[in-house]
Each structure stands twice: as structure tokens, then as C-alpha cells.
Amino acid sequence: MAAICFLTSLPVPYWGRAHTQMHRALMWFPAVGLGLGGILMGIDWLLNAAFSPLLTSTMVVVALALLTGGLHLDGLADTCDAIGGGHTPNQRLDIMKDTNLGTFGAIGLFSALALKVFALASLGNGERSIALLTFPALSRWGMVVAIKAFPYARHKGSGLAFKQRATWPWLAVTTSLTGIIAVVLCGFAGLGLMAAAAALVLLVGGFLNRRQGGLTGDSFGTINEMAEVAVLLLFQLLGFWEPWL
């Protein structure tokens, strides 16, 4: 329930105590992602009967933004503004605190949303269902990998509660759960998707770590958004859906 509170805007009666359970909630990040994917699959199924694939995909991506309260998109925008506008780690961290949307943030938001829409629209109905279930789960697992793998850049912040209590056993459990989800949905090709997502997380996380002197909550949101895009593009590029046709 703590994971649902943090990762979604769904009304669950738990927020009063959720902040004390964040380190334990890490294990359930992929499961929450899978649940979001199930909601998206239902929305896609309902809308696809009345609208074109492109319009349906647009509404599905908008639905995901609403279901998550724009949390990760906000992190992506702040990070793009910081990387594009700052010259030192401290400047970049200060820019992240600015609530105004800058040019680099707008470019990042538009790029991520457009890539998701067109990647989904290019998939057939069967492929779309599998992709919609898979990409939110893998991207949220990617955040757990980043939380454990990289230092935190601030002395306080939304991501600090996760970082302080994240341990290798928690990561192992989360990775095992994600592996089960990936194999059930995509066969052994799902492990390839996990490996690609992990590689992206480490590359992006390493870049942000060097530029900012550590990661922040916004960085984790950025990694989630980039992992979502990457997994959808891999579905389009490599055809992992063929065993289920």
C-alpha cells in the first residue's frame, strides 16, 4: 500500500503511515507497475474499439500520466532543465528545485510522451497488451536498481527514505519478482528486456551521478521515464511478442 501511495495517485487509505514503510515498499514497485499496466490494458481495450490506434495510444499515455500524478514526468522535466541549464553540480541541484518549466524540460517532456505514443501506436493489438503490462513493471524495477546503485545527492528529499534503507536483499527480492513477471509475460526474452533496462539505468544513472554529484528523487523519475520509453522501443524494434502470436 505504501508503494501504491508513492507511485500512483490512486486513493488508498494508507498515506498517514506510508512514509515509515518506504524502504519495504521497494519490493513492490514492479507489482505496482504491473497493476498500472493492467489498468492501461483495460483502457486500451475499451478505447481501441472506437478510436484509431494513434488516438487510443495518446489517451493511454495521458491516462498513465494521470494515474501517476505526473510524478515521474515532473522529475524528467526538472532533470532536463538542470542538466541543460546548470554548469556545476550545485547549480543543477538548485535548478531542480525551481518549479518553473524551462526549455530543456519542455523538450524532455514532449520527447518522452511522443515516443511512448508512437511506439504504442505502431504495435498490433496482441503486442500492445503485452507491452502495456510489461513496460511499467520493468521501469519501476529500474528505479529500485538506481536507488541501490548510486549515492543520494541531498541530505533530504523524497527519495532519501528509500536510499537510507535500501539493501542488497531487498534488491534481490525485487529483481526476482520482476524476473517472474518478465518471463511470464514475454518468455525468456523478458530477461533480455530486463538486461537492457538495467544497462540503461546504469548508463543514465552514472551520467546523472557525475553531473549532479549523486541522484535525487527527480533523477529516479527520469530513469523511470527513460526506461518506459526504452522498453516500448525494444518491443517495436526486436519483436519480443512473436511467441504469443
What digits encode the pLDDT tens for the residues 128-174?
999 999 999 999 999 999 998 998 887 776 667 677 767 788 889 89
Q: How many domains does the chain have?
A: 1
The residue range of the domain holding 162 is 28-244
The pLDDT score that the predictor gives to residue 99 is: 81
Q: Indicate if the pLDDT at residue 16 is higher than 60.
A: no
Residue 58 forms part of a structural domain: yes
Interval 205-216: pLDDT, tens: 999 999 998 899
Query: pTM for this one?
Result: 0.91
Query: Do the Cβ atoms of 31 and 144 come closer than 8 Å?
Result: no
Query: Which grid coordinates are listed for 13?
Result: 487509505
Q: Which of 171, 211, 212, 216 has its CA nearest to residue 194?
A: 171
Q: Are 227 and 164 in contact (CB under 8 A)?
A: no
pLDDT of residue 242 exceeding 60: no
The answer to whether residue 17 is domain-embedded is no
Percent of the chain with pLDDT over 90: 60
Query: Minimal CA–CA distance to 82: which of 71, 95, 73, 72?
Result: 95
Residue 244 confidence (pLDDT):
45
Confidence of residue 21 (pLDDT cuts 50, 70, 90): low
Write out the H or E segment, with its range, that includes residue 239: none
500520466: which residue's cell? 65
Among candidates 158, 136, 138, 167, which has minimal Cα distance to 215?
Answer: 158
- Are residues 177 and 193 in contact, defined by beta-carbon separation less than 8 angstroms? no
Helix axes 217-238, 103-121, angle to 10 degrees: 30
CA distance 159 to 30: 17
> 16 in a domain, yes or no?
no
CA angle 38, 141, 91 (to 5 degrees): 120
